[in-house]
Chain A
Amino acid sequence: MKYIEPHAHMVSRTTDDYERMALAGCEAVCEPAFWAGFDRSSADGFHDYFCQLTEHEPKRAAKFGLKHFCWLCINSKEAEDVTLAEEVIALIPEFLDRPNVLGIGEIGLNKNSRNELRVLERQIDLAARFNQLILVHTPHLEDKLKGTRLILDVIKNDGRIRPERVIIDHVEEHTVEMVLDGGLWAGMTLYPETKCTPARAIDMLETYGRERLWLNSACDWGVSDPLAVPKTAREMKKRGHPASAIEQVIFKNPKTFLRQAPNFKLGH
């Protein structure tokens, strides 16, 4: 069954993963800018990373028949240093016209600090000024509830941002409702240890409906599974969900949100 992987950090993955994703039916992979697992020492490191996301990685994906798109930003884990963040934010506009760029992301919060919040506001301003879609990372574990509340307040308070052009990612049972109630999209991340299991993600679909929800693997350099989305589709099938419902969640929903970005074209 065809699907879109709307959140995957392919720079951390091998070509074997691209091949397995293509074999599983993946049509396109979308890669938000994120933390490399270490702090970059200067804005130049981000410049190189943005080149990797916009030049090199699409070519690597194309070898396996996959379309590759990306999001650009400075992530929240490196946002405590506001001076560095401002230098990185200043770099982003020169990349926004590149053909695989979808918007600004994954911005957000990590430990819910004042500096992280300041940098989040600046990147939301950047998105508003350049009319970009927004993909938001919500914090981990004990910090998620508070962080999601703070993020929703910032978005709500910026009158230029239309909620249907924002996806709040990594929602769980205690945050999904507030995101959907605000008119935003919600992403459920399928991780083996943290965030969501396939069973819990499907529970949320059954509880809140299939509108404005998508599934992603967020596969990266940590414990993660690039095939988490098709595996969850199989779990939906086991529960008796019809093929049309599965297709909506793993293909049509991400397509509906992402095609608000002019660059998002699947080519068929």
Chain B
Amino acid sequence: MTKQQVLDLYFLDARHKLIELAAFLDRVDRATGKEDFRLPAFRAALTVLDGKKKNKATLVLRAFSDPTIVPIEKAVGKGATGAYSPPRSMRHADKSRPIPARDHSTSSKKNVP
């Protein structure tokens, strides 16, 4: 397809999704309480969209992914949250910006087949 054809087919849809995304971030900004590990992961993934990097979808997916390679000892629950939460021992040393840990009791986990 030509760039013109891609724009004709997908521009309005992409524009719609971008505005939804901006509105989501505004909504989070307006909300009270603490954020958890998902928001920093989301903001990190957003940086991929800016600029001329290729394979942006791959990079965004990687930004949300568990980068480790060793199996975990035991599965606690079945759901996934959409963003990786490093174990306490691996978290950023900068104590001024702690990332709240994953709460395994949260109802935000998605149980999908």
Measured CB to CB, the residues of A under 8 A from B are 9, 34-35, 37, 77, 80, 110-117, 139-146, 149-150, 172-174, 194, 199-200, 203, 218, 220-222, 238-240
Residues from chain B with Cβ under 8 Å of A140 in the complex: 79-80, 110, 112
Of B58, B69, B72, which is within 8 A of A111 by CB? B72
For the complex of A and B, list the 10 residue pairs with the smallest distance between their C-beta atoms, beginning with the closest. A111-B75, A145-B65, A141-B80, A174-B61, A140-B80, A113-B75, A173-B57, A173-B58, A142-B84, A220-B113
List, sorted by A's number, 23 A–B pairs whose CB atoms are closer than 8 Å: A35-B78, A80-B74, A111-B80, A112-B66, A113-B72, A113-B74, A114-B73, A116-B71, A141-B81, A142-B80, A144-B65, A145-B61, A145-B67, A146-B69, A172-B57, A172-B61, A174-B57, A174-B58, A174-B61, A174-B62, A174-B65, A221-B113, A239-B1
Contact B69 A149 (CB under 8 A): yes
Within the complex, what minimum Cβ distance (angstroms) separates B49 from chain A?
14
B57 near A145 with CB under 8 A, answer: no
CB–CB A77/B81 < 8 A: no
The answer on a CB contact under 8 Å between A203 and B80 is no
Q: What secondary structure prevails in chain B residues at the interface with A? A: loop
Number of B interface residues at 8 Å Cβ cutoff, please give it. Answer: 33
Task: Please indicate the chain A residues that have their CB under 8 angstroms from the CB of B72 in the complex.
Answer: 111-114
Q: With A111-B72, A240-B1 given, can you name 15 additional A-B contacts, CB distance below 8 Å?
A: A35-B113, A37-B113, A77-B78, A80-B75, A113-B73, A114-B71, A114-B72, A117-B71, A144-B65, A146-B65, A172-B57, A174-B57, A200-B57, A238-B9, A240-B5
CA distance A34 to B112 in the complex (A): 11
Using CB atoms, name the residue of chain B closest to A146: B66
- A237: shortest Cβ distance to chain B, in Å? 12
Cα–Cα distance between A194 and B1 once the two chains are bound (Å): 26
Contact across chains for A218 and B113 when beta carbons are under 8 A apart: yes
Task: For A141, give the chain B residue with the smallest CB separation.
Answer: B80
Given A174-B61, A220-B113, A142 contacting B75 (CB threshold 8 A): no
